[in-house]
Amino acid sequence: AQSVTQLDSQVPVFEEAPVELRCNYSSSVSVYLFWYVQYPNQGLQLLLKYLSGSTLVKGINGFEAEFNKSQTSFHLRKPSVHISDTAEYFCAVSDRDTGNQFYFGTGTSLTVIP
Amino acid sequence: NAGVTQTPKFQVLKTGQSMTLQCAQDMNHEYMSWYRQDPGMGLRLIHYSVGAGITDQGEVPNGYNVSRSTTEDFPLRLLSAAPSQTSVYFCASSYFGVIYFGEGSWLTVV
């Protein structure tokens, strides 16, 4: 089974500053990679996904992530954050062979400070 | 498109009571799963199913039961609720790299 590590449980950042949320996964087998966002008291919303092709993936709300196979990482970045980006962010992985079973990280709480 | 529908959204139970969280999907996905979300622990897989009549345990199955009589429905049963089962529960269906979540069920056991 895969394991997903989100290295930072909480990330405070000032408004308009850049941010990087880190994610590493355990296996070098072919994987699909995802980032989800969860606003308070809501469900999970897909931010972006990597299935194949370009290793730089662009998602909604100005977020992007880069798949690095050699480092088994999929870090999420945004060049300039807004107050509305305050939320919990989850990295997730699924094996290409099955494509159906997802493994989630423990989440990173992003707080944007005015 | 309804996607994944789970009910109820909020529920308060007394210790020892039983209840069923309902989940239905209209996308004809074979794979369905139940997760619980707790602070600092992310989403943990409770049970999953790869098709009608087939279920299996995930990471935290104790105290929960599931069945899959049809492709559409995947209910989660709490057999005898305990305060440790206070959590947010998400049902999901997935198909080759895409997962669809229900809106979540906030369960409190007192």
Q: Provide the residue-wise pLDDT of chain A in tens; the chain has 114 residues.
A: 778 999 999 999 999 999 999 999 987 678 899 999 999 888 889 999 998 888 999 999 999 999 998 899 999 999 999 999 999 999 999 877 766 788 899 999 999 999
With a CB cutoff of 8 Å and minimum separation 6, the contacts of B94 are A94, A99, A100, A101, A102, B29, B31, B32, B33, B100
A52 vs A4: CA distance, rounded Å: 19
Q: Are strands A108-113 and B10-13 parallel, antiparallel or unpaired?
A: unpaired
Q: Do A43 and B104 touch (CB under 8 A)?
A: yes
Q: Do A99 and B97 touch (CB under 8 A)?
A: yes
Average pLDDT score over residue span B28-42: 92
B7 vs B107: CA distance, rounded Å: 11
Q: How far is A2 from chain B (nearest CA, A)?
A: 12
Q: Which residues of B touch A44 (CB under 8 A)?
A: 43, 90, 101
Picking from A27, A37, A35, the residue whose alpha carbon sits closest to that of residue A57 is A35
- Position B109 scores a pLDDT of 97
B80 vs B29: CA distance, rounded Å: 30
Q: Which residue has the tokens 């309902």?
A: B22
